């Protein structure tokens, strides 16, 4: 567990600056900064003071369950896979999505381009067409889907997307469990 990172998330969630947390705990801003970057570790007494200032306790802090955990991902956090020859770009919107129940990606298809065929698997698939016109192929079935339309299916057969339009297509695609 990254103690420093978790302390920082709690501090930011409460809207506190490093200086404010330092003042509440009688520590220095420099120590809080080093702690949040995992450069240094607090003593048990110091950790308990910090957690009290953050409105939590040792039990809650080290609990593996984070029922109200919220993660925000910036463009820098996202992973991009671009195949210019195939005309397909896939942007993973959530880092380490393999650990989660679902995996959202943004698929960009040039006219005539197709995603790789996905084999049947357990779970569910959902997509929302942000721009263009795409065709969803599920087994032997083909579905033409336009901007503003959504699709949902259980991936019981081979499935993939192709851009059947004349302009670039973008699809927000969510798979559960993660399969990309």
Smallest Cα–Cα separation from 143: which of 162, 166, 156, 157?
162
Q: Are residues 112 and 79 in the same domain?
A: yes
Domain that holds residue 51: 3-62
Predicted structure pTM score: 0.61
Contact 165, 133 (CB under 8 A): yes
For the cut 90, the answer to whether the pLDDT of residue 105 exceeds it is: yes
Q: How many domains does the chain have?
A: 2
Q: What is the CATH number of the domain that holds 24?
A: 1.10.260.40
Q: Are residues 141 and 95 in the same domain?
A: yes
For residue 159 the two structure tokens come to 């499935």
Q: Are residues 85 and 56 in the same domain?
A: no
What pLDDT was estimated at residue 84? 87
Q: Are residues 85 and 122 in the same domain?
A: yes
What pLDDT was estimated at residue 174? 94
Degrees (nearest 5) of the Cα angle 27, 33, 35?
80
Residue 70 lies in a domain: no
Q: What is the CATH number of the domain that holds 126?
A: 2.60.120.10
Q: Are residues 18 and 83 in the same domain?
A: no
Domain termination residue (choose one: 12, 35, 62)? 62
| pLDDT-derived band at 15, boundaries 50, 70, 90 | confident
| pLDDT-derived band at 75, boundaries 50, 70, 90 | confident
**Range in 27-31, 93-97, 156-160, 162-166 with the lowest mean pLDDT:** 93-97
Q: Are residues 104 and 25 in the same domain?
A: no
d(CA 5, CA 141): 47
| pLDDT-derived band at 69, boundaries 50, 70, 90 | low
Residue 171 lies in a domain: yes
Q: How many helical (H) and strand (E) elements, i.e. helices and strands, does the chain have? A: 5, 9
C-alpha dihedral, 105 to 109 to 114 to 119, nearest 10°: 0
């Amino acid at each position: 567990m990254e103690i420093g990172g978790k302390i920082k998330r709690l501090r930011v969630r409460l809207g506190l600056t490093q200086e404010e947390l330092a003042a509440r705990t009688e520590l220095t801003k420099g120590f809080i900064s080093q702690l949040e970057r995992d450069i240094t570790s607090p003593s048990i007494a110091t950790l308990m003071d910090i957690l009290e200032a953050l409105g939590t306790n040792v039990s809650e802090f080290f609990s593996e369950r984070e029922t109200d955990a919220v993660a925000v991902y910036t463009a820098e956090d996202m992973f991009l896979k671009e195949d210019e020859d195939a005309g397909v770009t896939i942007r993973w919107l959530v880092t380490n999505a393999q650990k989660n129940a679902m995996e959202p990606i943004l698929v960009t298809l040039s006219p005539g381009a197709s995603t790789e065929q996905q084999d049947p698997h357990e779970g569910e698939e959902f997509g929302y067409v942000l721009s263009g016109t795409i065709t969803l192929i599920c087994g032997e079935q083909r579905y033409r889907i336009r901007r503003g339309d959504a699709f949902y299916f259980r991936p019981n057969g081979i499935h993939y997307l192709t851009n059947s339009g004349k302009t670039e297509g973008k699809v927000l695609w969510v798979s559960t469990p993660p399969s990309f």
